[in-house]
Amino acid sequence: MMDFEKEFERQLRRRTGGGSTSAARAANKKAVAGAAARGQLHRERGSVVWGAIRVDSKKRQGRGAEALGQETVCEFLGQGSIGFEGRCAPVLLKRRGRDEAPPEGWTEDQVELQEMRDMVVQSRARGTWDAYARWWQTFSSYASSKGEQTHQWRRDSERDRQAMSHLLRRLVNTMRKQYAYGTVNMMVTAVARAAKDFGWPNPRDDDVLAAMLKGLAHLKGMNKKKQQAMLGEHVKAIMALRKRGGVTLVQWALLKAIVIVGWMAFLRVSEMLGGGKLKSGELKDGPSGLDVCDVTFVTDQGANNRLEVVVRSAKNDQAMEGHTTSVYADELEGEACAVQRLRDWMSLAQLKRSKGCTKGRLGCEDCGRKKCICDCTACGKMFRSVTHGKVQPHPMARSGLTRHLRALYARLEEDGVVPEGMAETVSGISLRAGGVTEAAAMGIERELLAGHGRWKSNSGPEQYDRQDKRKFKGVTAALQRSLQDHSEGKKRKR
């Protein structure tokens, strides 16, 4: 075995044992430095290549799995996982529309296996892989302590599949005493995904396991401390608030725009503001936030004036196909009109689609798309940080959004619009959860909620819908109508 392979495996072991991402990152850096010292490293534009492992030296946002994530995936798919047999092979970086040549000396089989892995890698976000890998390792070492070696399991062995199922039950039972339901459930999910990637049936189909989890949920009581949903009456009250001293005009315009657009378009915080930064100052994975040029104002003979908001990438959209959500103007409700509020903010902050806009340009090499979906630095971010009345180029901080929303709710508390203490339960998620909850309360069906909120399946909005009681008002109304129908029928008969 070549030196760097040994080193790689050593690093992998250390990494998955460690847990924290920053520790992993530090280990990664050290490993790369070591490889460089031994002359096993060469550099390419924007990244270093270590053997066949590419490590992006500069974090590039939202472009699929990166080196560290891929190594974690290696751990999951390769070394310990039943997902793929044998030891971990180096992972090629392969993006949509951008193939890279395999390392010299690879057999056709190796390349094919690698290509399959690449596709699996692209299907999930890095954080998801990290979590799976950690839990898989827990399961794998538990199995090993019971005399089962998971890396020796074979796809076509019914005995191995049953061994997994049996071990999973036992581990759930072992974890039961010390861990919360959610934690146990996460472990089961990681194992279930590995089994699925391997081509085995879902272990959750095991009736015994399902009953155990259900029992555990009852026993522990599912800890559902959900963020407050921003209901229609809250939004209306917020939009009617008057600016107070200490808040600049431009800041106030920004808050109103972000509340009404986020609420109406069911936007995730990450979709509005990006994933935020790590302690080290690097940008986190995932969506990079809304650009000015992601929003189009459509003027359609007055009647259908609207915003078209393109969410280029979301946490459930790793392929970055992008989705558009339309928000229509409300000519009667000037204060609460999303189109007007966004226009106000943009004009005060002097934001507009710039001449040098790169969105949609042809032949971009960075994203490899027919029409470029890269962040547009010419137009810049839509919802920005404002300090002392000065509009900054970077997006508003996620914690800043929560702080501002709580301040707005504190004023609603003062005015007696909402009960005291509610402000503390509000955060950026309240916008998406609020939009969904309010629309559902008004009788909008799940299919429409899912489409508007860019979910792939109709069950997506469920975890955001806080089940406002008004939703069921229609049931009483229907029953009352039926009583009226009957009494009218009787009258007619007489």
Mask 291-320, x = binds Zn ion (CB under 5 A)? Answer: --x---------------------------
Reduced to 3 states (helix: H, G, I; strand: E, B; else coil), residue 433 is: helix
| Min dist. Cβ of residue 431 to Zn ion (A) | 24
Nearest to 227 by CA among 383, 432, 472, 443: 432
Residue whose CB is less far from Zn ion, 35 or 272: 272
Pattern of binders to Zn ion over 174-213, x per CB under 5 A? ----------------------------------------
Listed ranges 128-136, 220-228, 350-358, 454-462: which one lies at the site for Zn ion (CB under 5 A): 350-358
Site for Zn ion contains 357 (CB under 5 A): yes
Nearer to Zn ion, 211 or 319 (CB): 319
Going by the DSSP 8-state scheme, the letter that residue 381 receives in this structure is: B
Q: Whole-number minimum distance, CB 206 to Zn ion, in Å?
A: 45
Q: Considering the complex, state which of residue 276 and residue 368 has its C-beta at the smaller distance from Zn ion.
A: 368
| Residue 24 or 373 with smaller CB distance to Zn ion | 373
Hey, what are 268's tokens? 């995730």
Contact between residue 446 and residue 418 where contact means Cβ atoms under 8 Å apart: no
CB of 367 to Zn ion, least distance (A): 3
Cβ-based neighbours of 26, under 8 Å, separated by 6 or more = none
Least distance (Å) between residue 292 CB and Zn ion = 6
Which range, of 220-228, 270-278, 290-298, 343-351, touches Zn ion by CB under 5 A? 290-298
Q: Which stretch binds Zn ion (CB under 5 A): 181-189, 234-242, 355-363, 445-453?
A: 355-363
Beta bridge partners of 50: 41, 53
* Stretch touching Zn ion by CB under 5 A, among 44-52, 230-238, 363-371, 449-457: 363-371
Token look-up 């460089």 returns: 36
By rule CB under 5 A, what count of residues binds Zn ion? 10
Positions in 16-45 near Zn ion (CB under 5 A): none
The separation between CA 412 and the C-alpha centre of its own chain, rounded to angstroms, equals 30
Residue 100 in tokens: 């890279």
In terms of Cα–Cα distance, which of 407, 350, 426, 430 is closest to 382? 350
By beta-carbon proximity to Zn ion, the closer residue of 63 and 323 is 63
CB under 5 A: which stretch of 268-276, 288-296, 395-403, 407-415 binds Zn ion?
288-296
- Among 52, 180, 283, 364, indicate the residue that binds Zn ion (CB under 5 A): 364
Residue 234 φ/ψ, nearest 5 degrees: -65, -45
- Distance of closest approach, residue 393 Cβ to Zn ion, in angstroms: 13
Number of CB atoms found within 10 A of residue 464's CB: 22
Indicate the residue among 234 and 359 with the shorter CB distance to Zn ion. 359
**Cβ nearer to Zn ion, comparing 62 with 90:** 62
DSSP run (H or E) holding 306: strand 306-311
Burial of 105 (0-12, 13-18, 19+ CB in 10 A): exposed
Q: Report the alpha-carbon distance of residue 358 to residue 261 in Å, rounded.
A: 24
CB 77 within 8 A of CB 70: no
The nearest distance, CB 323 to Zn ion, in angstroms, is 18
Q: CB nearer to Zn ion: give 73 or 379.
A: 379
* Number of neighbouring beta carbons within 10 Å of residue 151: 16
> Which is nearer to Zn ion, 259 or 374 (by Cβ)?
374
Query: Which one of 22-30, 83-91, 100-108, 353-361 is the stretch in contact with Zn ion (CB under 5 A)?
Result: 353-361
Helical (H) or strand (E) element with 138: helix 126-145
Q: Is 305 helix (H, G, I), strand (E, B) or coil?
A: coil
Q: How far is CA 173 from CA 137, 320, 429, 486, in A?
A: 18, 39, 34, 56
Helix (H, G, I), strand (E, B) or coil at 204: helix
Site stretch for Zn ion (CB under 5 A), options 161-169, 270-278, 343-351, 367-375: 367-375
Q: How far is the CB of 196 from Zn ion (least distance, A)?
A: 32
359 interacts with Zn ion by CB under 5 A: yes
**Exactly one of 367, 386, 401, 431 binds Zn ion (CB under 5 A); which one?**
367
Distance, in Å, from the CA atom of 238 to the CA atom of 215, rounded to the nearest integer, reads: 43
Q: 366 vs 413, which CB is nearer to Zn ion?
A: 366
Give the E-state strand segments of 384-481 in sequence order.
384-387, 390-395
CB of 53 or CB of 374, closer to Zn ion: 374
> For residue 326, which phi and psi values (nearest 5 degrees)?
-100, 140
Please count the CA atoms within 13 angstroms of the CA of 221 that sit on its side-chain side: 2
Under rule CB under 5 A, residue 346 binds Zn ion: no
| Closer by beta carbon to Zn ion, 204 or else 353 | 353
CB of 229 to Zn ion, least distance (A): 33
- Binding positions for Zn ion, 368-407, rule CB under 5 A: 372, 374, 376, 379
Q: Is 202 exposed, middle or buried (0-12, 13-18, 19+ CB in 10 A)?
A: exposed
Binding site for Zn ion (CB under 5 A): 293, 357, 359, 364, 366-367, 372, 374, 376, 379
